[in-house]
Amino acid sequence: MIDVSLIDKHYESVPEATRLQRSRSSKLEFDTTLHFLDKYLSPRATLLELGAGHGAYSLHFARRGHRVLATDLVSANVEAILDHVEREGLGTIQVRKADATRLESLSDWEFQGVLCLGPYYHLRTRELRRRCLLECRRVVHERGIVAVSYLNRAFAISQLLKKGVPLTKGHYDSLLTLDDTRTDYPDPFFNIAHFTTPEAVEAEVRSCGFEVVEHVGVDGVYEHFSEAFEGLTDEGYRDFLAFHFKTCSQPSQRGTSNHGLVILKKV
Per-residue pLDDT of the chain (267 residues; tens, 9 = 90+): 556 666 666 566 565 556 666 788 889 999 999 999 999 999 999 999 999 999 999 999 999 999 999 999 999 999 999 999 999 999 999 999 999 999 999 999 999 999 999 999 999 999 999 999 999 999 999 999 999 999 999 999 999 999 999 999 999 999 999 999 999 999 999 999 999 999 999 999 999 999 999 999 999 998 888 888 889 999 999 999 999 999 999 999 998 899 999 999 999
Alpha-helical runs (H) found in the chain: 4-12, 24-40, 56-63, 75-88, 126-139, 153-162, 169-175, 198-207, 226-230, 234-247, 251-256
pTM of the model: 0.93
Q: Residue 124 carries which side chain, given as an amino acid letter?
A: R
Cβ–Cβ under 8 Å, residues 214 and 263: yes
DSSP-derived letter for residue 16 is: G
C-alpha pair distances (Å), 1 with each of 12, 96, 101, 132: 21, 20, 10, 13
What gap in Å lies between CA 222 and CA 251, rounded to an integer?
Answer: 17
CATH number given to 4-266: 3.40.50.150
